[in-house]
Structure 1
Amino acid sequence: MTTDFATSTETATERARRALSRIAEVDRPEVWITLRDADDILADAAAVDARVAAGRSLPLAGFVVAVKDNVDVAGLPTTAGCPEFAYIPTTTASGVTRLIDAGAVILGKTNLDQFATGLVGTRSPYGAVRCAWDPERISGGSSSGSAAAVALGIADIGIGTDTAGSGRVPAALHGIVGIKATLGVIPTHGVVPACVDYDCLTVLAESLDLATKAAAVMAAPDERDPRSRAWPTAVRLAAPAQIRLAVPRPEDLIVLCAEYRNAFDATVADARRSGIEVTEVDISPLLDAATLLYDGALVAERYAAVGKFLETARVGADPTVAAIVASAQKPAAHELVTDLDSLVHTRAYASVLLDGFDGLLLPTTTEHPTIAAVQSEPVVINRRMGTYTNFCNLLDMAAVAVPGAVTSEGHPFGVMVVVPGFDDQVAIDIAARLTGVEAPQFVDAGVEMAVFGAHLRGQPLHFQLEAIGARFSGLAHTSDAYRLMALNTAPPKPGLVRHGGGEGAAIAGELFRVSEAGLGRFLSTLPAPMTLTSVELSDGRWVVGFGCTHDASADGLDITEFGGWLAYTTS
């Protein structure tokens, strides 16, 4: 169900009808806690069609969305997987509001591990959510219902949350995509807290393109969420052409089941064959930090969220969740301080570890158990499944979960690209390379810069743009007010000179988006006789672009007739 609406003849109403038909066809009631009335869904879809017909540009027009039931949608109950906790919110979570404003249609609220405490999807009085492709296996939690809704072909987009891996583990088990952005990039306004300092909204979809498109719509600070954050001025906007990935040592992978270990090795081998440079590193300190989320004092945040509520011995409380939350009131304040200090040291280790790498490639989870196995060992299996996901938010990192090589039995297997905070776009670019798709744009930041010579792709100084994380955004031409001069420099480069009165021509170049800090760093090292100035494009826009000093242009060779540097150098 991931056809791009912009290129499809299908209306929002037709997409909504197809989703409703699919709900009836698959007959998976445990996916939903509250399913909206069909008439209401179709009315919303008709309203989207009317907006499109009126000429509105809606990036998510008609896409249907399943929302995890710890995320508020006005007028629908929020239960967090516990019937007695239910309330009717009057406002919608800001991230979901942005999806609706972009043309998405909400189908309903999905099942989850109660209070988003778990990675298995079985800890719910509304029933264990079954895997979309094998009903004997778990869907994976805590965003179990949203992942299953996507994998079953009901929803285009699943909205989940991810504190310990809940938006990535179910993605891996179903062979779909899960994007867990840097903490705060997507506001958590309207989300029932689990561990409030480490919670985030996540997006699940069948394709990296659609997941990224939805995440980009949702991303922006919200004053109602004091933990929300904007992209920094030094944000990296692209991965380099030559990607370097760190992967775990064999001893860091012993927890994987044999089937998953073989699939991870195959994924790494595929990455190498694609031209990615891969190096083994020691991630054991990161794995140690992962244990702090449940086995350390940080679990106190779960008690702060719902402990008082569960102390009243609610009938609808899941016994495993209630026990975890109850134990979270035991750590002393000094133990919390010790754990926080430990995280500071591990963050520093991670920074040094990944210096020189573009990301860390990990298996998303360790195995795909049956529902019966999880019910037999609810804590042990759950803890093991979070081995590679739990540390991510604790260390302020971002991650993109995508399918890896299938297992020897033909089952889905998932990997994650993990990066330092705010390197989200780099993670998406690497994920695109791993899965063989075109990399979509997530980060909407920075300024456009036009280049016309030695900084073009494939030219000798292009590496300087890669060094500041510049992102190619398209070909361009100047207006006809410019002349191009071949300068006497090493390496050879042209100088763009503005001429009025129709004395110029349209000069071919390329556009790149660069961060504000990257642009400043680039300018600070720009050698004479080159300058950066405002350049007029053929479409009337003015962007930052290259020029040169008057004396350099006077000594140069006029090559305007060629229409661009590449045409001149290949003539």
Structure 2
Amino acid sequence: MTLSFDITTLRQGYLAGSFKPSDIITEVLSRIESGDSKIWISVDTKERLLAQAAELETKDPATLPLYGIPFGVKDNIDVAELPTTAACPDYRYFAEKDATVVAQLRAAGAIPIGKTNLDQFATGLVGVRSPYGVPGNAFDPEYLPGGSSSGSAVSVALGQVSFALGTDTAGSGRVPACFNNLVGLKPSRGLLSASGVVPACKSLDCVSIFALNASDAQTALRSAAAFDPSDAYSRQAPVQLESPRRAYREGMTFGVPSPEQLNFFGDQAYLNLYLEAVGQLESLGFKKQVVDFSPFLSAARLLYEGPWVAERYWAIQELIKEAPDALHPITKAIIEKGIDGTAVDAFDASYKLQAFRQATLPLWDEIDFLATPTAGTHYKIEEVEADPIQLNSNLGYYTNFMNLLDLASVAVPTGFTPKKLPFGITVIAPAFHDEKLLQVANKLHVASDLALGTSDQKVFPELAPFPTETLSIAVCGAHMSGLPLNSQLTELGATFNRAEKTSPNYRLFALPGTTPPKPGMVRDSSAGASIDLEIWELPKTQWAAFIEQIPSPLGIANIELADGTFVKGFSCEAWATSNATEVTNHGNWRKYIATLG
């Protein structure tokens, strides 16, 4: 069995001493050499790669999250001492330093192997617009590899590297993931620095991550993310939860486009697989809601029909003026359209986009994420060559709106067609909901029971918890799991921690006239007992919202636990127990409720 390059497997091997980084580099180079030469535009030298591995071998593998992990870099992202071409030989230059995102990953212990092929200047969703050839789709070379990040996706799917960087302005980090059985993370714009990245649409560009599973994508994201003052569009994710919807929780609501707004371009297999994926989400406990998808579709049309094409022209204006024949004919035809727009056109489009943004905002109060197909179909290369513009446009049906509307998304594999070609859906939410989406993607990927990439391996580690500050709260009654008021906690992003008991110093009363029935717990060291509790972790930013819902005579006090420590929790004013039924002898509110029938 070929060694899987997923991050968990490699880390376990490093920690156990089964192999070292230089062994993995040797294996990586062997796999690349024996594979499709059109996947990579350039590969670093064996000497330099082994030197990086040797330096890592002087360190403790446990101290670096990406220790010895090999990764690919799309060739519009700089890697020091390697050429950057953006798939245009006449544009080629040698990078003096790493792009910020590459530097972050290198600092975490990862090793950049080389530069992967792409649709020239990241213009296209097909993966066939490169003078360096077409990387073969990992499952059938007659079909598109997907673009523009074609080489990055195929290299991961074939197990040549553990993960790879792409870019995603219009879907280039998701469509290739779908076509090659990968997780494709399109982070919130600005979360990963674009400094050292050849721009496509500078105001919309986004560095993306191709990975074998959601855990690997999360590890790479957390290592690469950093605010970068040198990138004018860099942003930092809030550490705190400004909204409970940023945190994953069970039973979330997801939106699906209404049936007449779905488009599979005649591909019945993709339609069937999408319906199966939606059913799988429902079987996992998520709640489906049909939504109006029209504002998203209208926004999507602006990307190539509006003035944002002028950004593509701006990025390579000197080259297109001085050496227009250096461009791929289709790339040139698309980008040249950016010359004709006016300032009036730009403002007109910006006003339309703002209206579409406003139209979509209320939706996020109703749903936690959208679930759409990643692509509506999968074309053969010869089909796209016969109709390159329209078929490429079809592939952007579910992707082009994403960065215009400031959304985050994760493409996740969910099945295979009868022709044994991969299919997947994309889960979508507002910016900075990346971690929640990764959790959803992981749940769905596990349930789909698919092997990673082209391998026979199934490795799905648990994801790291959401990085937020919480405060423990002890609940003893209707807020406990499965009881009527538990939703007041979960809707604010609270998560269950553990079951506990109080010290033997408390009495429990059933308060009269409360709906739903509520207990009151008071401290009484002379006649008390130990009462069962649940400890929940509530984001600190949600405490005010939670406390607002607490009615008199209940309040929050310091509750002593059985081990003598204290935690914030529900308490009751003593006066309210004078006409209440004492239920201390039950020791547990659920047991008392059960006696009521």
Query: Could you state the TM-score of these two structures normalised by the residue count of structure 1?
Result: 0.87
1:18 maps to which of 21, 24, 27: 27
| Residue number in structure 2 paired with 1:349 | 359
CA gap of 1:487–1:82, structure 2 versus 1, over 3 A, is farther
1:554 positional shift: 10
**Match in the other structure for 2:391:** 381
Q: Does 1:360 align with 2:365?
A: no
The equivalent position to 1:156 in structure 2, one of 121, 142, 162, is 162
1:525 equivalent in alignment to 2:549: yes
8 Å CA contact 2:489–2:538 kept in 1: the answer is no
Query: Partner of 1:470 in structure 2?
Result: 494
In the alignment, structure 1 residue 2 sits paired with structure 2 residue 12: no
| 1:274–1:80 distance in 2 versus 1, CA, 3 Å | same
Separation in structure 2 between the aligned mates of residue 553 and residue 76 of structure 1, nearest angstrom: 74
How far does the alpha carbon of each residue in 1:49-103 deviate from its partner, in whole angstroms, 9 at most, with x for none?
A: 43225xx522222221111111122222222222222233333222222222222
- Cα deviation 1:315-369 (Å, max 9, x = unaligned): 5422211222221121111111111111111112222344312221111112222
Do 1:120 and 1:382's aligned partners in 2 also have CA atoms closer than 8 Å? Answer: yes
- Which SS does the other structure have where 2:215 is aligned? helix
SS in 1 for 2:126: coil
Pick the aligned partner of 1:334 from 338, 341, 344.
Answer: 344
Correspondence for 1:306: 316
Measure, in 2, the Cα distance between the counterparts of 1:121 and 1:212: 25
- How far residue 281 of structure 1 moved from its aligned partner, in angstroms, is 2.6
CA distance in 2, matches of 1:154, 1:536: 55
- For 2:226, what is the secondary structure of its paired residue? coil
Counterpart-to-counterpart distance in 1, 2:520 and 2:224: 41
Q: Secondary structure at the match of 2:58?
A: helix
SS of equivalent residue, structure 2 residue 193: coil
The within-5 A match list for 1:371-520 is 371-435=381-445, 436=447, 440-441=463-464, 443-454=466-477, 455-472=479-496, 474-475=497-498, 486=508, 489=511, 491-492=517-518, 509-512=534-537, 514=539, 516-520=540-544
Where does structure 1 lack aligned partners over 5 or more consecutive residues?
none
CA 1:541–1:377: 2 relative to 1, 3 Å: farther
Query: Secondary structure of 1:379's partner?
Result: helix
Give the one of 245, 248, 269 matched to 2:254: 245
CA deviation after TM superposition for structure 1 residue 447, in Å: 3.0
Question: Which one of the candidate residues 127, 131, 139 is aligned to 2:133?
Answer: 127
Change (3 A) 1:315 1:538: farther
Q: What letter is aligned with 2:46?
A: A
Alignment of 1:131-210 (within 5 A): 131-210=137-216
Number of positions where the alignment pairs a residue of Structure 1 with one of Structure 2 = 560
* CA pair 426-334 structure 1, distance change in 2 beyond 3 A: same
Deviation (angstroms), 1:177: 0.3
Amino acid aligned to 2:56: V
**2-side partners of 1:254 and 1:79: how far apart?**
35
Structure-2 separation of matches of 1:6 and 1:498: 52
Distance 1:44 1:64 in 2: 11
Provide the C-alpha distance between the structure 2 equivalents of 1:33 and 1:223, rounded to a whole number of angstroms.
30
Residues 505, 560 of structure 1: 8 Å contact kept: no
Partner of 2:453: none
Report the CA distance between 1:532 and its aligned residue. 5.4
CA contact (8 A) 1:216 1:444 kept: no
Q: For residues 449-488 of structure 1, what are the alpha-carbon distances to aligned partners after superposition, in whole Å with 9 as ceiling and x for unaligned?
A: 343434443344321122122345x44879x999665365
Greater Rg over alpha carbons, structure: 2
Question: Percent identity at matched positions?
Answer: 35
SS in 2 for 1:226: coil
- Distance (Å, rounded) in 2 between the aligned partners of 1:469 and 1:207: 25
User: Shift of residue 222 of structure 1?
Assistant: 2.1
1:33 equivalent in alignment to 2:51: no
Q: Distance in 1 between matches of 2:323 and 2:560?
A: 68
Counterpart of 2:176, as a letter, is P
Q: 5+ unaligned residues in a row in structure 2: which ranges?
A: 448-459
Question: How far apart, CA to CA, are the structure 2 residues paired with 1:439 and 1:343?
Answer: 38
Q: Which amino acid aligns with 2:152?
A: S
Amino acid in structure 2 at the alignment position of 1:429: Q
Q: Secondary structure of 1:119's partner? A: coil
> Residue 537 of structure 2 aligns to which amino acid in structure 1?
F
**What RMSD, in angstroms, separates the aligned Cα atoms of the two structures?**
3.5
**Within 2, Cα distance between the matches of 1:498 and 1:428?**
47
Q: Structure 1 residues 498 and 513 mapped into 2: Cα distance closer, same or farther (>3 Å)?
A: farther
SS in 1 for 2:408: strand
- Is 1:266 matched up with 2:276? yes
Confirm whether residue 217 of structure 1 aligns to residue 223 of structure 2. Answer: yes
What letter matches 1:143 in structure 2?
Answer: S
Task: Find the residue that maps to 2:83 and give its secondary structure.
Answer: coil
Code of the residue aligned with 1:182 in structure 2: it is: S
- Identify the match of residue 287 of structure 2 among 277, 282, 293: 277
C-alpha change, 1:552 and 1:68, in structure 2 (3 Å) is farther
Write the letter of the residue equivalent to 1:209. S
| Counterpart Cα distance in 2 of 1:304 and 1:476 | 59
The answer to whether the 8 Å contact 1:483/1:558 transfers is no
Q: Secondary structure at the match of 2:178?
A: helix
Q: How far has the Cα of 1:43 moved from its partner? A: 2.7
- Superposition deviation, residue 209 in structure 1: 1.3
Paired with 1:527 and 1:286, the residues of 2 have a C-alpha distance of: 42
Distance, in Å, in 2 between the alignment partners of 1:533 and 1:135 is 65
Q: 1:227 to 1:551 in 2, by over 3 A?
A: farther
* DSSP-derived class of the 1:417 partner: strand
Alignment-derived partner of residue 101 in structure 1 = 107
Cα deviation digits, residues 187-227 of structure 1 (max 9, x gap) = 22222211111111111111111112211222332222232
Cα distance change of structure 1 residues 58 and 550 upon mapping to structure 2, 3 Å threshold: farther
Counterpart CA distance in 2 for 1:481 and 1:42 is 59
8 Å contact from structure 1 (residues 129, 144) kept in 2: yes
Tell me, yes or no, if the aligned pair for 2:375 and 2:396 is still in contact at 8 Å.
yes
**Distance in 1 separating the partners of 2:11 and 2:103:** 21
Given that 2:522 and 2:572 are in contact with CA atoms closer than 8 Å, whether structure 1 keeps it comes out as: no
CA distance in 2, matches of 1:223, 1:206: 31
Instruction: Give me the whole-angstrom Cα distance separating, in 2, the residues matched to 1:484 and 1:401.
Output: 51
Question: Does 1:47 pair with 2:69?
Answer: no
CA contact (8 A) 2:474 2:569 kept: yes
